[in-house]
Structure 1
């Protein structure tokens, strides 16, 4: 089994639950493929002891050259990527797995890659943070980029790949999967959900859930759950 981007500490419980739901143990994962080196996409590669880890050569070289700073690069994990025997560096147009092509997508980071899966019907595009969400895709502008013009050019390239084959699924870095509608607009696959669960009572068995979904009436956005 292969995983593409594996997240940071905050998603470990959810990641574990999703793997268990598929009957997959961490040692069953054979390949971990990284779009870029930022902590929220990369650090959990350490959880998969038998996996070959794939990352762009330019990305890892750039990440390793950066001094510690107030940025999303996890310095110690980058050092681990440099020294682990099972890390493989990719170039644009390489296929880490059959039918999965790496495509240069600079902007968010200098060596960022996206991946186009043509072995699937329909094809799937994994954009990482070169297109983090629907707003970036529609506006042509991005948040958090090392080079704004490169990011705009990368977004145009992503759109070209997306339009090339009708029905292609696009999976962005921080949003739901999407397909293009008949009029060419990105339509979500699935339902967006967001909530905060907090303890406001004097018992840990009673939790208040605050619904953050934008289509819910604010006055009805919370409920108490007896755990």
Structure 2
């Protein structure tokens, strides 16, 4: 039904003293006459997203649908780059985000208010198949209206957003950065229930490499992590120090 590509690889880490990295996963689905993006990332990823779209022969005007797992800035703000796209977000999520006053949190207030007013926005109901083959599953905790999106394909694919940010959360059933720890645990159990019912399923977390279950039923990574920083520590602008951010990975 669809070809699935991960355009931007999520990263399972956060900055120690400079706020959130916001390096989230962006996936693309092509088929059924549609080009669908599952989450669209933060400001800092714009050039890389443009590069990856071009490498796949896709222009911003080709994108028919932007599907948001939740309203946080690192998953949502770049919907404005796709003027022809319908923007899909959970009804519970947008109604919650609409009423949160500006504050020191990850909600992009002005973008949320734009989504509330925009005629391009469509609200997703729990358990609805809102696009061909794509079903929404409520997964609150990280935010009240987080959603999982299950793609019926062979194998099936589950996009978890920040209901399951990384493999460590899936294995420990504990979450970092959640508004409701008990609800987040229940949502992680929902992911596992989906996975055990379809053990060939590929799980695409919000901030990690894609995963599949190995013969022992444990999540293993698909692909190779790529993450590094080039820093100007020298007195010469032409000299950079490369810092590999994949050390310690299994």
Tell me the TM-score normalised to structure 2 length.
0.83
Question: What is the deviation of 1:193?
Answer: 2.7
Match among 90, 93, 117 for residue 56 of structure 1: 90
Distance 2:229 2:132 in 1: 40
Secondary structure at the aligned position of 2:240 is classed as strand
Q: Which residue of 2 aligns with 1:31?
A: 65
Matched length = 215
Alignment of 1:138 with 2:152, yes or no, is no
Highest RCO, 1 vs 2 (Cα 8 Å, sep ≥ 6):
2
Q: Which residue of 2 aligns with 1:99?
A: 133
Question: What is the deviation of 1:94?
Answer: 1.4
Alignment of 1:44 with 2:57, yes or no, is no
Distance 2:148 2:245 in 1: 30
Match among 198, 207, 229 for residue 165 of structure 1: 198
Alignment of 1:72 with 2:106, yes or no, is yes
Q: Which runs of 5+ in 2 are unaligned?
A: 1-34
Alignment of 1:195 with 2:228, yes or no, is yes
Distance 1:212 1:66 in 2: 34
Tell me the TM-score normalised to structure 1 length.
0.92
- RMSD of aligned C-alpha atoms? 1.2
Q: Which runs of 5+ in 1 are unaligned?
A: 217-227
Alignment of 1:179 with 2:212, yes or no, is yes
Match among 173, 181, 185 for residue 152 of structure 1: 185
Distance 1:213 1:146 in 2: 28
Secondary structure at the aligned position of 1:32 is classed as strand
Distance 1:198 1:147 in 2: 37
Distance 2:233 2:140 in 1: 45
Q: Which sits farther off after the overlay, 38-47 or 187-196? A: 187-196
Q: Which residue of 1 aligns with 2:162?
A: 129
